[in-house]
């Protein structure tokens, strides 16, 4: 682990505590460039952690502080996501798989964060989940299935053929237009699926909604 919380871009949590972990990719050419931006006071953006391609961790903001990583969006009843979340930036331009060593480091970090703040698998989300139509990270190449296998995120599955939009609301997706919601859900749980809503979308969403409702958050 390197660094000493070098980002100045943070503030008070406004009386809230972390209940979510939001995963991002940096979307930049290399880690050095991303780190410089996350620590630039002019940029006014930050995260609590940055994970290098080789698995090294940079702590940028103390976890008890409000990092500026989520921006506009919401999840379930939470509109000020920054105040109630921990942000993890994963070094990746967005057009390639995430290296095994990087995913190993993420798994270990998530375990620590979730234990420290008592956050359940339903509380680990992507930037694209809370900001549909505005953000797509960590993107379709991110290995959500591995996190689910490790018990660190919700898994997809097959549930009842229930109303899709009702299920998406129960999971936590913001109330945006149906097509945008579907695209965000697919990005996370059915990467590469296209076209109109299908039975597979409805059954997967129903399964995830049930898991979110019955699991700890």
CA pair distance 37, 17, nearest whole angstrom:
25
Q: How far is CA 130 from CA 58, 103, 127, 181, 210, in A?
A: 24, 22, 6, 10, 19
- Taking alpha carbons only, the member of 93, 106, 97 closest to residue 49 is 106
Q: Which residue has the tokens 């505590």?
A: 17
**Which DSSP symbol is given to 194?**
-
Active site residues: 89
CA pair distance 152, 122, nearest whole angstrom:
8
**Angle at alpha carbon of residue 117, lines to 25 and 22, rounded to 5°:** 20
The H or E element that residue 202 is part of is helix 199-214
How many other CB atoms are found less than 10 A from the CB of residue 54?
11
CA pair distance 94, 139, nearest whole angstrom:
7
| Tokens of residue 108, six digits | 């270990």
């Amino acid at each position: 682990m390197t660094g000493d919380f070098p980002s100045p871009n943070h503030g008070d949590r406004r009386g809230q505590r972390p209940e979510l972990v939001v995963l991002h990719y940096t979307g930049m050419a290399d880690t050095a460039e991303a780190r410089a931006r996350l620590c630039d006071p002019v940029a006014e953006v930050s995260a609590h952690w940055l994970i290098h391609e080789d698995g090294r961790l940079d702590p940028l903001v103390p976890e008890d502080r409000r990092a500026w990583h989520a921006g506009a969006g919401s999840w379930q009843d939470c509109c000020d996501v920054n105040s109630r979340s921990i942000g993890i930036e994963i070094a990746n331009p967005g057009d390639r798989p995430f290296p095994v060593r990087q995913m190993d480091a993420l798994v270990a970090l998530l375990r620590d964060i979730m234990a420290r703040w008592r956050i359940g698998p339903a509380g680990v989300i992507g930037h694209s989940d809370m900001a549909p139509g505005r953000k797509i990270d960590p993107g379709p190449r991110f290995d959500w299935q591995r996190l689910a296998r490790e018990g660190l995120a919700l898994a997809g599955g097959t549930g009842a053929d229930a109303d899709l939009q009702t299920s998406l609301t129960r999971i936590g997706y913001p109330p945006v237009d149906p097509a945008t919601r579907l695209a965000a859900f697919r990005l996370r749980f059915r990467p590469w699926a296209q076209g109109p809503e299908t039975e597979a979308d409805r059954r997967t969403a129903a399964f995830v909604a049930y898991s979110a409702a019955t699991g700890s958050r």
